[in-house]
Amino acid sequence: MPGEGISVALIGTGFMGRAHSHAYRNVASMFPECPRPRLKLICGRDRGRAEALAARFGWEEVSTSWEEAVRHAGVDLVDVSVPGALHAPVSIAAARAGKHVLCEKPLANSLEEARAMLAAVRQAGVRHMVQFNYRRVPAVALARQMLDEGQLGTLYHYRARYLQEWGVHPQVRAPWKLDKEQAGSGALGDLGSHMIDLCRYLAGEIREVTGMTETFVKERQATGGSATVRVTVDDAALFLARLDNGALASFETTRLAPGRKNHNFFEINGSRGSLYFDLERLNELNFYSLDDPPGRRGFRNLLATAPQHPYAASWWPDGHLLGWEHSHTHAIRDFLVAIGQGQLPRPNFEDGVKCQAVLDAVARSVASRRWEAVDG
């Protein structure tokens, strides 16, 4: 490994470019067991923007060519934080250059691309992870622990919603998200992939689905101008699913829900109790237990900030709340630790392919208007 720690090339200078920069900059200071990332290179199409981010976060070098960045001899890890259409070419080139790869979600724009990415990282023998950061919210990781302890008993229902508001506003921030060529799909892949990953993480594998999508607004105004952008992706997607373990699941996602800023919600019902979580209250996990005595039952609100809770001991005293950005820091901590230990973290590209297979089955179901099996 060249130099000290793990040298990173971050491809992308947008929203995730900033969120990941923040994580790399802070992670080893808060998690001393984590190999220190070296902020080697940041790459974006716009040199001025990349230089500004480099100055703000301390990236050593700037590039406008991802092709050169992924081959840089001083780089150990490539972070793919660009629109979906670039996930496969950048990740595959990085793997072939012998770099570990962290790729943003969803892994790809199609199942075929996702499989090619998995084949490339396996062939190269590099470590890989998908940035499904919501697994790393302490309250969500706590839900996983409670499920492992059997506190919900047999699972019956998984109910997920991921609702956002921004689609109702006339101007759009990231026009690429409205273009099928660049994004693969709309709310379905963008937000639906997070819902699917959390379902797989918490409740189990998805066997079959039936879904529907809608594009309510067919044309939109591009950011900072009067040009209109034709919308070629869905605004909203709903689907039902049956899990391998027999549980029934429902999923709803939209970008057109006024008042719902980032409402990533799940509820799980089992034979012994229930859990629910809402990202807009991300420090809290709500738990109802039938093991409580009758007459004393009710949802209790667990604040996942105690030192006993996942990741929390490395931050502040109990009750001093964490934010959305910590989920990215935790995911990047886990990836760097895994690289340091020669382990493969979860969710890795195999999980990314499984998620993509569910997205693919939903899209097939929308077209066929029938139940479709998830291609295992």
Ligand X SMILES: NC(=O)c1ccc[n+]([C@@H]2O[C@H](COP(=O)([O-])OP(=O)(O)OC[C@H]3O[C@@H](n4cnc5c(N)ncnc54)[C@H](O)[C@@H]3O)[C@@H](O)[C@H]2O)c1
In terms of Cβ atoms closer than 10 Å to its own Cβ (0-12, 13-18, 19+), residue 46 is exposed
Looking at residues 277 to 296 of the shown chain, list those that interact with ligand X (rule: CB under 6 A): none
Examine residue 14 and tell whether it contacts ligand X (CB under 6 A): yes
Examine residue 45 and tell whether it contacts ligand X (CB under 6 A): yes
Rounded alpha-carbon distances, angstroms, from residue 194 to 105, 107, 114, 134: 8, 11, 16, 7
Closest-CB residue for ligand X? 14
Binding track over 156-185 against ligand X, x by CB under 6 A:
------------------x-----------
Among 7, 91, 133, 164, binds ligand X (CB under 6 A): 133
Examine residue 21 and tell whether it contacts ligand X (CB under 6 A): no
Examine residue 82 and tell whether it contacts ligand X (CB under 6 A): yes
The answer to whether 211 and 239 are in contact (CB under 8 A) is yes
- Long-range Cβ pairs for the range 278-284 (8 Å, 24+): 279/134, 279/137, 279/324, 282/137, 282/139, 282/322, 282/323, 282/324, 282/327, 283/138, 283/139, 283/321, 283/322, 284/139
Examine residue 345 and tell whether it contacts ligand X (CB under 6 A): no
Examine residue 141 and tell whether it contacts ligand X (CB under 6 A): no
Closest CB 324 distance from ligand X, rounded Å: 8
**For residues 16 and 366, which CB has a smaller minimum distance to ligand X in the complex?**
16
What is the CB neighbour count within 10 angstroms for residue 209? 25
Examine residue 253 and tell whether it contacts ligand X (CB under 6 A): no
In terms of DSSP bridges, do strands 100-103 and 263-270 run parallel, antiparallel, or are they unpaired?
Answer: unpaired
Closest CB 17 distance from ligand X, rounded Å: 5
Instruction: List all residues 6 or more positions away from 77 whose beta carbon is below 8 Å from its beta carbon.
Output: 6, 7, 8, 9, 37, 99, 100, 101, 102, 335, 339
The structure tokens listed for 274 are 């229930």
**For residues 132 and 239, which CB has a smaller minimum distance to ligand X in the complex?**
132
Closest CB 294 distance from ligand X, rounded Å: 41
Examine residue 43 and tell whether it contacts ligand X (CB under 6 A): yes
Examine residue 84 and tell whether it contacts ligand X (CB under 6 A): yes
Examine residue 16 and tell whether it contacts ligand X (CB under 6 A): yes
**For residues 168 and 174, which CB has a smaller minimum distance to ligand X in the complex?**
174
Examine residue 52 and tell whether it contacts ligand X (CB under 6 A): no
Closest CB 169 distance from ligand X, rounded Å: 16
| Region near ligand X per CB under 6 A, out of 15-23, 161-169, 197-205, 339-347 | 15-23
CA 366/CA 249 separation, integer angstroms = 17
| Region near ligand X per CB under 6 A, out of 39-47, 149-157, 229-237, 255-263 | 39-47
Examine residue 10 and tell whether it contacts ligand X (CB under 6 A): no
H runs (alpha helix) in the chain = 15-30, 47-57, 66-71, 87-96, 111-124, 138-148, 180-183, 187-190, 192-202, 324-341, 349-368
Residues in a beta bridge with 279: none
Closest CB 14 distance from ligand X, rounded Å: 2
Examine residue 67 and tell whether it contacts ligand X (CB under 6 A): no
Examine residue 23 and tell whether it contacts ligand X (CB under 6 A): no
Residue with tokens 């990047």: 332
In terms of Cβ atoms closer than 10 Å to its own Cβ (0-12, 13-18, 19+), residue 109 is buried
Examine residue 66 and tell whether it contacts ligand X (CB under 6 A): yes
Looking at residues 187 to 206 of the shown chain, list those that interact with ligand X (rule: CB under 6 A): 190
Closest CB 198 distance from ligand X, rounded Å: 12
Examine residue 220 and tell whether it contacts ligand X (CB under 6 A): no
Instruction: List all residues 6 or more positions away from 156 whose beta carbon is below 8 Å from its beta carbon.
Output: 247, 248, 269, 270, 271
List residues near ligand X by CB under 6 A: 11-17, 43-46, 66, 81-84, 86, 104-105, 131, 133, 174, 190
